[in-house]
Amino acid sequence: MTWGFKVATAVLVVVVMVWLMLIINTFDKYAHFHYLIDQIEGTYLR
């Protein structure tokens, strides 16, 4: 393994981890947003 290959692999791993964290954060916000909408609808439609 060359030094450049190790650096490229490390960068790739970091990029994938950041990307996964962003996706998880987006899904969390989306789920939370839907939960809030459900709460609001439940309050007004009762």
Using one digit for the tens of pLDDT, what is the confidence trace for 5-32? 999 999 999 999 999 999 988 888 888 8
**pTM reported for the whole predicted model:** 0.56
Q: Residue 46 — very low, low, confident or very high, per pLDDT cuts 50/70/90?
A: low
CA distances (Å), origin 28, targets 3, 20, 23: 38, 12, 9
pLDDT at 1 over 80: no
